[in-house]
Structure 1
Amino acid sequence: MNTYFWIIFGILFAALIFSFYRRYKLVASMSKVPPSDKLIILTDATFKKQIAKGVALVDFWAEWCTPCKIQGPVVSEIAEEISDQAKICKLDVQHNQRTATQLGIRNIPTIIIFKDGKPFKKFVGVKTKSVLMKAVNAALKA
């Protein structure tokens, strides 16, 4: 019976190591995707002015956040497609804590779509491009 335990333990341990390796490779490949030139990088000083008019999608993120590294390329793709219709922005919460605190950002990634300076829709966690595009289009039509 003791032998079976170690065999099962070994198999489970190998599966765990393999899953960590796959996640590492995914994050490493996502980190190599350059951000879009059409993204607007926000700070505490520029935040209110940038979201004041029209529709703005703001990705609240931090460099150390693994899910944020997965969400980043999705936001860049959206910027490439619709930056002429809506502002697509990123705000690093680690370096711009005042804005994040005022908006009650407790988990990242958080994406908020603003319409004329007011929050229109909020997403917490990694979201697909289609979900975000649908929400931006809804804000543009509202």
Structure 2
Amino acid sequence: MKNADTTSAVIKVTDDTFQDFVVSSSFSKPVLVDFWAQWCPPCHMLSPVLDEIAAELSDTLTVAKIDVDENQVTAQRYGILAMPTLSVFRNGEVISQVVGARPKRRLLVDLSALL
């Protein structure tokens, strides 16, 4: 489940690939999506945390990120107004969403309740 733009265990998705890599694949295991922007300092602080989580939970969770400035259709579809926004998809639906950067420990606690 990797694509050519993957630089870590985190999958980079676009408007064109969101349906396949996030919505459809969330039927087999949950997908955590990081809606981020290049100009967003908290997004950059969160990135290495998500890399670690993606590697540690690869058996039970897929982690993806989408640049909202380059992929406005998807951002609008899911009502993303602030970055970073972390959404967990399961069975094609958003089951959890938080806005803002979180420490790794807190993210893991939040995710453990969903996995």
Q: Which has the greater radius of gyration?
A: 1
Gaps of at least 5 residues in structure 1 are 1-34
- Give % identity: 40
Query: Secondary structure at the residue paired with 2:45?
Result: helix
Deviations 1:80-112 (A, max 9, x none): 111221111110101111000000000001000
Residue in 2 that maps onto 1:46: 17
Residue in 2 that maps onto 1:102: 77
How far residue 69 of structure 1 moved from its aligned partner, in angstroms, is 0.8
Q: Residues 16-95 of structure 1: matches in 2 within 5 Å?
A: 37-51=8-22, 52=24, 53=27, 54-95=29-70
Letter in 2 for 1:79: A
Residue in 2 that maps onto 1:120: 95
Question: 2:8 and 2:49 mapped to 1: Cα distance?
Answer: 14
Query: Secondary structure at the residue paired with 1:121?
Result: strand
Contact 1:112 1:121 in 2 (8 A): yes
Q: Which runs of 4+ in 1 moved over 4 A?
A: none
Bigger relative contact order (CA 8 A; separation at least 6): 2
How far residue 127 of structure 1 moved from its aligned partner, in angstroms, is 0.9
Question: 1:48 and 1:134 mapped to 2: Cα distance?
Answer: 27
Gaps of at least 5 residues in structure 2 are 1-5
CA-atom RMSD in angstroms: 1.5
Question: 1:110 and 1:59 mapped to 2: Cα distance?
Answer: 6
- TM-score using structure 1 length: 0.69
How far residue 70 of structure 1 moved from its aligned partner, in angstroms, is 0.9
Question: 1:124 and 1:73 mapped to 2: Cα distance?
Answer: 17
